[in-house]
Amino acid sequence: MSDTVSQSADKVLDHFTLFRQPEYKEMFERKKAEFEYGHSDEEVARVSEWTKSEEYKEKNFAREAVVINPTKACQPIGAMFAAQGFEGTLPFVHGSQGCVAYYRTHLTRHFKEPNSAVSSSMTEDAAVFGGLNNMIDGLANAYELYKPKMIAVLTTCMAEVIGDDLQGFIANAKGKDSVPQDFPVPFAHTPAFVGSHIVGYDNMIKGVLTHFWGTSENYDTPKNASINLIPGFDGYAVGNNRELKRIAGLFGIDMTILSDVSDNFDTPMDGEYRMYDGGTTLEATKEAVHAKATISMQEYCTPQSLQFIKEKGQDVAKFNYPMGVAATDELLLKLSELSGKPVPAELKLERGRLVDAIGDSHTHLHGKRFAVYGDPDFCLGMSKFLLELGAEPVHILSTSGSKKWEKQVQKLLDSSPFGKSGKAYGGKDLWHLRSLIFTDKVDYIIGNSYGKYLERDTKVPLIRLTYPIFDRHHHHRYPTWGYQGALNVLVRILDRIFEDIDANTNIVGQTDYSFDLIR
């Protein structure tokens, strides 16, 4: 484009504006007219309209094979996330290295932090002859290069398809002095073709605990007063884990968070690079077997782990991403019950303040219709909070959602008149949600960054409240759990509602009579 006139060194245009300049527009138009041989604009518009219809929705829901825009990730990323919550732990992914690059970038794009993981870089010959050599060399190299305190091994599909046996491979590698005999190398088989990231999370937690606690059932394990807590796969882990620790501190409970990624995904910029930061210490992880109880914040992230923990004689309690007043009440009561300590005065005040805030703003939320999508636990927690606010969760969708989950959501909806128009969609994707929103309109969508395409197509405002959030920064630093967290969520929802009202009333001379200063 030698005749480009728009770009100049004095004022460099970025892609937002550069390609709207006349010479680019002309180029695009010419390309379209002379080379693309596309359908006419009218035909495109007609089909686009058709995809919004009830008829299309039926075809869409009759889909059997193809999944379009799923709201789930794969097992390994969940397992890697779980592993990164332990002190000095390097996730070692047995399989092809491309997968690992994906997990790392995915997490980094959300948390805006680097995160470490290595792979055994299996190639074609490893696929044919098995990946044992890659494991032996890989563990040795990782140990030498990155000096971890623990290496957590997980797998990609490639290793799973050929059936590599991690337990045997690791023993073999230790036999060849890849790492010292007593060096902790917990592992989890995490095929992406089974379940999703929440299952991977569960597998890795169980893998780590198995390593430290042993496999055998032992209901008579000696107990102390401490309590374990497993947060589950949570994009708000930085804010939430810290909030949980604060709550435990106020109670005076000795609490061990099993897999605490809050420091690892939020390292300070002070001139020192921390390849591993914070995390649950290996000592504490080992000792955690003696806790009297374990709480899971996300039931669907921990079914196997909880079963395993139960077999060590602990009480277990499970929640579904508890958000809002009642859900936080339940959590605190459980903590109080398990620890025998009263709910701290400070938290009681925070509850009053949260209720007060909801009272101040409820008119703006009342009867507003929401589509909610995300992980099964998030959907449950979010819907519960919406019902509490007098808002109506209408479409609740989770690609990882099961029939059991659907029933659980339905039960929640049945508990409130505001849930009357709600329905759960397990195993469905965002393309299904698109049809749902077009045929049964909602006022707002709650989800993650992927929802922005839905927002664009349907013109329904999106509220980003769950992982991954790529296109907004730092939300993960603010908790969504506890009364303080509920307040954050409330404010985020309200902000979007008010922005929406402003955006709908800001045309000068036409709608700005309602462009009010006070809302």
Partner 1 sequence: MLQEKLQDVFNEPGCATNQAKSDKERKKGCSKALKPGAAAGGCAYDGAMIVLQPIADAAHLVHGPIACLGNSWDSRGTKSSGSQLYRTGFTTDLSELDIVHGGEKKLYRAIREVVQQYDPPAVFVYQTCVPAMIGDDIEAVCKFAAKKLGKPVIPVMAPGFVGSKNLGNKMAGEALLDHVIGTVEPEVTTPTDICIVGEYNLAGELWLVKPLLDEIGIRILSCISGDGRYNEVAQAHRARLTMVVCSQALVNIGRKMQERWGIPYFEGSFYGVSDMSDTLRTMARMLVERGADKAILDRTEGVIAREESRVWRRLEPYKPRFDGKRVLLFTGGVKSWSMVTALEGAGLTIAGTSTKKSTKEDKERIKKMKGEEFHQWDDLKPRDIYKMLKDSEADIMMSGGRSQFIALKAKVPWLDLNQERHHAYAGYDGIVNLCEEIDKTLSNPIWRQVRLPAPWDGKPGEA
Q: Which residues have a catalytic role annotated?
A: 157, 161
Looking at 362, 423, 452, 477, which residue binds partner 1 (CB under 8 A)?
362
Q: Is 414 in the site for partner 1 (CB under 8 A)?
A: no
Q: Is 336 in the site for partner 1 (CB under 8 A)?
A: yes
Least distance CB 510 / partner 1 (angstroms): 10
Q: Is 83 in the site for partner 1 (CB under 8 A)?
A: no
Q: Is 421 in the site for partner 1 (CB under 8 A)?
A: no
CB-nearer residue toward partner 1: 119 or 328: 328
DSSP strand E in 181-329: where? 227-230, 255-257, 293-296, 315-318
Please compute Rg for the chain using Cα positions.
25
Q: Is 334 in the site for partner 1 (CB under 8 A)?
A: no
CB-nearer residue toward partner 1: 38 or 367: 367
Residues in contact with 391: Cβ distance below 8 Å, sequence separation at least 6, in sequence order: 365, 366, 367, 368, 369, 370, 418
Least distance CB 506 / partner 1 (angstroms): 11
DSSP string, 389-406: HT-EEEEEEETT--HHHH
How many chain residues interact with partner 1 (CB under 8 A)? 36
Q: Is 363 in the site for partner 1 (CB under 8 A)?
A: yes
User: How far apart (Å, rounded) are the C-alpha atoms in residues 227 and 225?
Assistant: 7
Q: Which has the closest alpha carbon to 154: 233, 87, 208, 88?
A: 208
Residues 311 and 369: beta-carbon distance below 8 Å: no
Q: Is 355 in the site for partner 1 (CB under 8 A)?
A: yes
Least distance CB 512 / partner 1 (angstroms): 6
User: How far apart (Å, rounded) are the C-alpha atoms in residues 458 and 436?
Assistant: 10
Least distance CB 343 / partner 1 (angstroms): 5
Q: Is 443 in the site for partner 1 (CB under 8 A)?
A: no
Residues 354 and 483: beta-carbon distance below 8 Å: yes
Which residues in the 288-327 window bind partner 1 by CB under 8 A?
Answer: 325-326
Least distance CB 327 / partner 1 (angstroms): 11
Q: Is 418 in the site for partner 1 (CB under 8 A)?
A: yes
Looking at 125, 217, 360, 471, which residue binds partner 1 (CB under 8 A)?
360
| β-sheet with 227-230: strand ranges across | 255-257, 227-230, 293-296, 315-318
User: How far apart (Å, rounded) are the C-alpha atoms in residues 55 and 363?
Assistant: 36
Part in contact with partner 1 (CB under 8 A); list of ranges 81-89, 230-238, 347-355, 422-430: 347-355
Q: Is 509 in the site for partner 1 (CB under 8 A)?
A: yes
Per-residue contact flags (x/-) with partner 1 for residues 375 to 394, judged by CB under 8 A: ------------xxxx----
Looking at 79, 316, 358, 460, which residue binds partner 1 (CB under 8 A)?
358
Which residues in the 394-413 window bind partner 1 by CB under 8 A?
Answer: none
With b meaning 16 or more CB within 10 Å and e meaning fewer, what string describes 324-353?
A: bbebbeebbebbbebbeeebbeebeebbee
CB-nearer residue toward partner 1: 418 or 444: 418
| β-sheet with 423-426: strand ranges across | 423-426, 392-398, 369-373, 444-447, 462-464
User: How far apart (Å, rounded) are the C-alpha atoms in residues 305 and 301?
Assistant: 9
Least distance CB 316 / partner 1 (angstroms): 21
Residues in contact with 265: Cβ distance below 8 Å, sequence separation at least 6, in sequence order: 84, 107, 111, 113, 115, 237, 238, 476
Q: Say how many Å lie between the first and final Cα of the chain, rounded.
A: 50
Least distance CB 412 / partner 1 (angstroms): 13
Question: Which sign does the torsion angle of CA 234, 236, 242, 246 carry?
Answer: negative
Q: Is 513 in the site for partner 1 (CB under 8 A)?
A: yes
Least distance CB 514 / partner 1 (angstroms): 7
CB-nearer residue toward partner 1: 428 or 496: 496
Residues 184 and 212: beta-carbon distance below 8 Å: yes
Q: Is 440 in the site for partner 1 (CB under 8 A)?
A: no
SS (H, E, C) 184-211: CCCECCCCCCCCCHHHHHHHHHHHHHHH
> Which residues in this chain contact partner 1 in the complex, by CB under 8 A?
325-326, 329-330, 332-333, 336, 342-343, 348, 351, 355-356, 358-360, 362-363, 366-367, 387-390, 416-418, 508-509, 512-514, 516-519
